[in-house]
Amino acid sequence: MQGEENFDFVVIGAGSSGCVLANRLSEDGKSRVALLEAGPKDTNPWIHVPIGYGKTMWNDRLNWRFHTEPEPTMGDRRIYWPRGRVLGGCSSINGLIVIRGQQEDYDGWAAQGATGWGFEDVLPYFRKLEDNPAFADDPLHGTDGPVRVSSIPRKHELIEVIKEAGRKLGVPETADFNGARQEGVGYYQLTTRNGFRMSAAKAYLSPAKGRANLSILTDTQARRVLFENGRAVGVEVSVGGRVKVIRARRGVVLSAGAVQSPHLLMLSGIGPAEHLKANGIGVHVDSPGVGGNLQDHLQLRLLYRCTKPITTNDALNSLFGRLKMGLEYLLFRGGPLAIGINQGGLFTRVLPESKTPDIQFHIGTLSADMAGGKVHDYSGFTLSVCQLRPESKGWVRLGSGDPLAPPKITANYLAADTDRRCAVAAMKFARKLAATEPLKSYVAEEKLPGPGVTDDEGLLAFAREYGATIFHPAGTCRMGPDDDRDAVVDPRLRVRGVDGLWVVDCSVMPSLVSGNTNIPAIMIGEKAADMIREDAMNNRNGRDNAPNQINDGRTQQWLGKRELQVAS
């Protein structure tokens, strides 16, 4: 063990939530904050070009490149799970899509005992993080936040015909999936600014890097949290082949994500007691919920050959097309390179019991064997569909007691009957969409699942053989009330059984939100920063669940409008 450094706060993980915390906890100019990131700085140029997602998805310097354990519910396949390993975390390698989820998601959290996390409580933080000039007059949106949200600047012929087909099936057109109603078909909003990716690192770390009280430590992997007298006092890390200690006077925050936050808790002696003992780790807190409750969106990708050479495949497979795309981006920061993989979205209901949208489409104007892979040599497009609120639960466990060994992940997709019914219904809806004019005229052939798959059993078999993560794991350190033994953290995100330790990332979600998780993770970081400052500055070690709330006039304006709508 060589050397020690001392800070007020140590934040583990420079992802979507951790970057927020590093900025907010250091903005007083006094609190010394260390942000630890196992990966490198975000200097790789493919990070910043939106379509570079296809490159970063497989780069082991920027990506943990996990695989699940063999999945019995998926034909014993080991499913590839990319996770960000770079400043910005997954926000530096994701698909850039801006989705908050549904109001009912957050009200559901509050109903489960996550006091202070209802939609009225989190809306001010969504607004606080956002710089969305296209919706400046909408009280649901913000214009002063660090995260630029951009609308796709030009229409694509394929998305336009999909919108028309959707309308014929009763799905309304929408310009804003984050508006008063999520249901609809239209273009996604993206985390981009002037043709570049707006990662959490770009939004929160770039303006804070000059602060003398903030240290951003890359290539520094956390091994375990250290405790003294029941309080987190530091982190043991590996850096440059050495092991050292970074001490924290006020506390430690785990923001390592839904895979590695529970992994680090278990390496630190907080988790299911028998599992810790079996891996040679002393039990600091017997917390049976650590690593459980794993939820993820399973994507099912239907691939089509297009009748017209208008897809991104056509551009990428042509020298002239590649030159045109490159010049358009270099000269104007526009074109396909500035947009990313998926341009269009569709949210609707396919199960009779669903009261709100239960499936989401990621509509890509290209096709490939796997997300981020090499495009096909034909004109192709993708209708990727996922169930929004899966009931199947998986788990994260230790691979061994070695802190540098990868965790074991079991996603347990399609274990629940509801999930299997939804998967089949979702693919049937996708096929119905493709068979509806005007989209029908653009479909030359369904490549996958293919015309040979005609019944429910065949569709479910396709889902088991080809289904993949859409990169939204959550729930493995879920928050909940004090009488819930499986709740790892309280509603103020404090780890139960110890002091001075918080978890702040998607792992605290009691249930997965209905959509992409990057923006909710940033929201969680914003809200947590306020709570951590309150708790730490007041030296509050009690277990009260006083909610943290901020009120802005625009939130109250929206709530007033909603009440009028309900009354009418």
Residues noted as catalytic: 472
Lookup: tokens for 238:
């590996």
In 3D space, the residue among 253, 406, 380 whose CA is nearest the CA of residue 311 turns out to be 380
Rounded Cα distance between 544 and 171, Å, is 44
Q: Which DSSP symbol is given to 89?
A: G
Give the H/E segment covering residue 275: helix 273-278
d(CA 135, CA 139): 9
Q: CA–CA separation, 520 vs 235, rounded Å?
A: 27
Tokens of residue 87, six digits: 């400043």
Nearest to 433 by CA among 369, 341, 486, 363: 363
DSSP secondary structure code for residue 92 in this structure: G
For residue 66, list its beta bridge partners: 81
Q: Cα-atom radius of gyration of the chain, to the nearest Å?
A: 23
Nearest-angstrom CA–CA distance, 504 and 94: 19
**Residue 184 DSSP SS3:** strand
Q: Which residues of 66-97 are buried (b: 16+ CB within 10 A; e: fewer)?
A: bebbebebbeebebbbbbbbbbbbbbbbbbbb
Residue tagged 């250091």 (tokens): 26
Q: Which two tokens stand for residue 495?
A: 């780890």
Residues facing residue 408 across a β-bridge = 397
Are 281 and 351 a contacting pair, CB within 8 Å? no
